[in-house]
Amino acid sequence: MQAATYQCPICLGRKLTLRYEAGYVYSYVIDSDAPGLKNHEEFLSFLYDKREQKDTRTYIECNQCGTQYPYTFLNGVLEEHQ
């Protein structure tokens, strides 16, 4: 069985990148010192009290023309046909 190769149907470029994009909301409780229960002397953004993940998106992007495709297109649509 031959390994699949992928090609952008728009520009025929062969370099594609898979991207996983995620958004997070970090919460810091306001207390008597720096915001965040774990922050005392100074505010450090990685010492958060709560983190909620918002939208996530997985897509394939062509390195050459920048066209974005749904991740599921790896299953057939973007395969190189000879």
All residues at 6 or more sequence positions from 82 whose CB lies less than 8 Å from its CB, including other chains: none
Q: Which of helix, strand or coil describes residue 74?
A: helix
- Closest to Zn ion by CB, 8 vs 60, is 8
Q: Does 64 bind Zn ion (CB under 5 A)?
A: yes
Phi first, then psi: what are they for 58, rounded to 5°? -120, 130
Considering only residues 8, 16, 60, 78, which one is a binding residue for Zn ion as defined by CB under 5 A? 8
Q: Does 62 bind Zn ion (CB under 5 A)?
A: yes
Considering only residues 4, 11, 29, 77, which one is a binding residue for Zn ion as defined by CB under 5 A? 11
Q: Does 4 bind Zn ion (CB under 5 A)?
A: no
